[in-house]
Amino acid sequence: MSAAERGRVRVEAGAKRVRAYLAGELVVDTTRPALVWEKPYYPTYYLPAEDFRAALVPTGEVKRSPSRGDGQVHDVKTTTGGAAGAALRYPESPLEPLRDLVRLEWDAMDEWFEEDEPVYVHPRDPYTRVDALPSSRHVRVEVGGVEVANSHRPVILFETGLPARYYLPMTDVRLDLLRPTDLRTSCPYKGTAEYWSVVIGDDVHENVVWGYRTPLPESRRVAGLVAFYNEKVDTYVDGVREDRPRTPFS
């Protein structure tokens, strides 16, 4: 893949067919997406302007980026509606590959597809790998000095850039100490997670447990299991207490 860089922004040509829909109408359909790392954690799609089916109407608003230049804000117009300010173009960007491309606000679209598969939250990073491996390692979890999980049947999920996560059968967890919460988060590799807090006496450890009831295919081995933020609890693996990792979730 070709690449261009300026500051912390990296641009690479992608090969997947990418489509976005709004109110049931096709907004863009391309086999020439660009992956742009505006942030170090995951890429954003920039799509060729000539592959848009919806109209892009300039608003006159300009958003300035020190790396990408002056971004011209556009409304996205379809035959039945649209999305205000949902498109951004950099026709005079210092990054030449961006000049003929359009950035869509991800959440302004109703559906995104990579090839024929729905994708959620953001594009999948081609440099991120997710492996969920069954293991016989002994995993214990303590919260506030109280054991809340003890299992010899973990599934260990290895995801690029994150610490190993220990997914445990719910029957190996003190379910009497868990309280469901309203928090839900989504991941393009795993799906939508639900959360629990751990309640020990008067102490509430909020949203330190999560699980995927119906994960995406590449993470199906963690279906019905739960994991603990090793950043916020004490995790013992084969009798050895692990250091709490430092991550954006700490």
Instruction: Report pLDDT digits (tens) over 89-105.
Output: 999 999 999 999 999 99
Q: How does pLDDT run across 23-79, given as a tens digit for each residue?
A: 999 999 999 999 999 988 899 999 999 999 999 999 999 999 999 999 999 999 999
Q: Quote the pLDDT of residue 250.
A: 82
Domains observed in the chain: 8-121 (2.170.150.40), 132-241 (2.170.150.40)
**Chain-centre distance of CA 234, in angstroms?**
25
Residue 47: name the closest of 10, 83, 88 by CA: 88
Q: CA nearest 194: which of 164, 156, 223?
A: 223
SS3 69: strand
Query: Can you tell me the mean pLDDT for 170-181?
Result: 98
Q: Which tens digit of pLDDT belongs to each residue from 110-168? A: 999 999 999 999 999 999 999 999 999 999 999 999 999 999 999 999 999 899 999 99
Residue 108 or residue 218, greater confidence? 108
pLDDT at 112: 97
Residue 5 has pLDDT above 50, yes or no: yes
Residue 249, pLDDT score = 87
Q: Is 193 left (phi over 0), alpha (psi -120 to 50) or beta?
A: beta
Sole residue written with tokens 């919260």? 143
pLDDT recorded at residue 201: 94
CA 216 to each of CA 104, 181, 196: distance values in angstroms, whole numbers, following the listed order: 24, 22, 20
pLDDT at 1 over 50: no
- Read off the pLDDT of each residue in 167-180 and give the average, rounded to a whole number: 98
pLDDT at residue 7 is higher than 60:
no
